[in-house]
Structures are given as structure tokens and as C-alpha cells.
Chain A
């Protein structure tokens, strides 16, 4: 008897983990909270509550390439990113923070959070240098672990999001809502 390959069957190599199989929001929250206390200040807490991001937002992120490939993205209002940068630098902050200072400091926060997220994922993986700007698009809505928090009352989104589109037959893509 002859059978027809309809494309429904999948080889083992066709499967890959999505981020929610590997890490949960509580772990991301714990990593972010530790980073905030150490980098931003001992009394700085992240409140796990959603907030409306303003129109003028800035993202910083690092890419993770390994058994799971994607990005760890921080997104917040531009003014909050500047406040975060000043808090990070504390007494070492220059009187006037320029855009490069903010990009550098906000990127470093993503680097620290991303490095610790990477450590919680299966390895070996490589970590990119931090980038700042418009966040990469979410290419597979099923491959996202997103945490919404408030810092000093301002919304910050922390998204661990896959870089690869869904496999054929799985969830369709849509654009990242925070970018």
C-alpha cells in the first residue's frame, strides 16, 4: 500500500522547545528582582503589576543563541529608561545624561538580566552584546515569556522571546505589541 506524505508528520528534528517549556515568569521575575536590587538600589522593588507603556518607549535587549534562540528584552518609557540609568550610576552619574549614557546603562541592565536568564536555559548558549532601540518583533507568540512590572510606579516589560517563526502547522505569528 502506498502512503502520501501530507506534511502532517514531524521528524524529531522538527521539534524545538518554546521558552515556556524552559522558564516561567516566576524565574524571570526572580532574576529581574535580583538584578534591580544589585544594580539599581537595595530598596528598589519591582511590583508584578501590568501598566500601560507610554507612546515614547525604548527597549534594550541581548540575544541568546543556543538550544533555544531568542532575545531577552526590556521595554519601558524613554523617561523611565533615563531614570533607571541615573539610578544605576548613582553618585557616578554625570550631571547631564546624554542618549549614549542611557543606551549604555539601559543596555547593561538587559545584559545582566539576559545573562542570568541564559544561565537558567539549557546550554551551551552564546550571549550577544546588548542592543538598544526598537525591540525585535515577536515571531512566535507561543515562544514568549513576558513579565510586566512596575518600577517606581512606571511600567517595565521584560520579555523572553524566541527569534524563530513557528513551525508549520503551529501558532501564527503576529507583531510584538510592545515595539
Chain B
């Protein structure tokens, strides 16, 4: 399976990439929503995108909206991974088309549980 990790923090990209690689994912990353769209435009379509909210150039909510408007990218599951933890923000993201929401700080177990709920946890990864 493929994942696209979108976060302006290099540290957070490394951490999320490490977790997903450990689950058997092939991972690419992008430092903001616009760079992530460039990856999709190349034709590299992931099963999962993890998306930070506050990023320069194009934020996570804008990215979700653009992806949702393109039927060719409909199969991609979008999981917000962000420090925006207010209920209203969660509702906004889900309304825009995100499938799941993980609040920073998180643990690898939290990511694993969300992926299991989404049916995106490779079978060889034990729960």
C-alpha cells in the first residue's frame, strides 16, 4: 500500500513516515498541500494521505477540498493528523471530505488503530 505524508514539519514527516513504513507502506512525503497535489498530478496515487492542517502555501483543509473535487482521486483515504483539536475544526475537516482525524500528539498505536478502522492496516501487522 502507498501513503502520502503531508506536513510542513520535517520532523513530523519523518515520524509519520517511520510509523507507516513500519506497517509496510510505501511512503512519499510533501511539505504542503500544493506539493502533495504535484505528487498526485504525477500519477502517484496513494491509498492513504495523512494531512496536517496548518501549512504554508496550501493548508490541509484546502488540499482535502481540491482532492474531493477530483473524481480521479476519490479512492484515496484522507486522514487529518493535526494539532487542531477543537470539535468545530474536526467537524469542518470531516465535512470537507476527510475520512479520519488524529490529534497531535499521537502514538504509533493510535495511527494503527485508525488504519485498522479504515481497513488500511496490512494484514501482517498485528493489532
Contact = CB atoms under 8 A, between A and B. Distances in A.
A129 B8 contact: yes
Interface in B75-104: 82-86, 88, 103-104
Nearest to A123: B86
Contacts of A123: 86, 88
B83 A111 contact: yes
Interface in B1-31: 8-12, 14-15, 17-18
A47 interface: no
A167 interface: no
B105 A85 contact: no
A35 B14 contact: no
Is chain A's interface secondary structure helix, strand, loop, or mixed overall? helix
Interface residues of B, number: 23
Contacts, number: 69
Interface in B36-87: 54-56, 82-86
Contacts of B88: 123-124
B84 A127 contact: yes
A112 B18 contact: no
Nearest to B16: A92
A89 B9 CA distance: 11
Contacts of B106: 38
Given A34-B105, A88-B15, A89-B15, A104 B86 contact: no
Given A35-B105, A108-B11, A128-B54, 13 more contacts: A37-B105, A85-B11, A101-B11, A105-B11, A108-B9, A108-B12, A111-B9, A111-B104, A112-B105, A115-B82, A116-B83, A119-B85, A124-B86
